[in-house]
Amino acid sequence: MPVLSARPLRLGLAMWSHSHWQQSLYGTGCKTGERLARYAETFDTVEGNTTFYATPAITTVRKWHDTTPDDFRFTFKLPSAITHQNQLMHCDQLLADFLTVMSPLEEKVGLWKIQLPAHFGPQALPALEKFLQKLPTHFTCGVEVRHPAFFAKGEEEKALNRLLVNNKANRIIMDSRPVFAAPPTSEAVIDAHQKKPQIPVHAIATADNPMIRFIGHPDDPSNDAFFANWLKRLPAWLDNGKQPYLFIHTPDNNHAPELAVRLYAQLQQQMSGSLQLPDHKLPPKTEANPQFDLL
């Protein structure tokens, strides 16, 4: 059974730089400026959330391009000035300026993420449609909504889904069930409960690159029951020619690399009879890196 040359599914984390990963993903000798390159040896995509808060310097963007392999893919959030402050309206120049800075990485952007605030509701759908139609036709987009009406399975949610399908935009799926199943007994979990939305999981693919943001439980085995649903949905999407993006979070992200690799291995096992997925493995335990507990 051949391994496909293209990536049938992309696996990544919420960031590429995290000091705790010095003991696992990077190795103790890795310098801060080398973290992205080390990250890209294990994972083939990453959530670029910093662009939501500030646009990087173009020299930094070029460095990100040069540091990663050709088949690596970033998923960058559009700036909050566009999505939250302007709510997708009257922001043509803001968008143009942002895309100009990001242009050196354009070929390595898998999804441009449009994360909308909770008060962006059904009445704002015309603004979303107009905005999507302004984007370059070759861009692949993902839209994350948080308004309750878009999870009620009524006409307003159907209108959103039709809009996304018609504009070939992916609906980003937040699965926060695992972290909200965790008792608020640590600062990391309490913080996650305050910041992460507790919304229903509607696993719908409105375009070819559905994105899942799986917010894990701090107790590693407790995630398996929640991931079992994705062990059914992801193979179905793959069989239909979709290329999903799977991002794994944990409350403090300290052990997110280990959880991501372990859950992905479950998917590999699930798919073994139909499609052989490429491996994603953490670096082996070495004497120079004795604190790394290899799964």
pLDDT digits (tens, 9 = 90+) for 29-43: 889 999 999 999 999
Q: Which CATH superfamily is domain 10-271 in?
A: Protein of unknown function UPF0759 (3.20.20.410)
Strand partners, 114: 143
Instruction: Residue 103: name the closest of 137, 56, 142 by CA.
Output: 56
Cα(first)–Cα(last) distance of the chain, in Å? Answer: 25
pLDDT of residue 214: 98
Helix (H, G, I), strand (E, B) or coil at 110: strand
Chain segment 211-266, per-residue pLDDT in tens: 999 999 999 999 999 999 999 999 999 999 999 999 999 999 999 999 999 999 99
Angstrom distance (rounded) from CA 190 to CA 205: 31
Angstrom distance (rounded) from CA 174 to CA 200: 8
Q: What one-character DSSP code corresponds to residue 19?
A: G
Low-confidence ranges of the chain (pLDDT < 70): 1-6, 285-295
Q: What is the DSSP code string of 241-295?
A: T---EEEEE-SS-TTHHHHHHHHHHHHHHHHTTT-BPPP--PPPP-TTSTT----
Give ∠ CA 286-288-294 in degrees, rounded to 5.
35
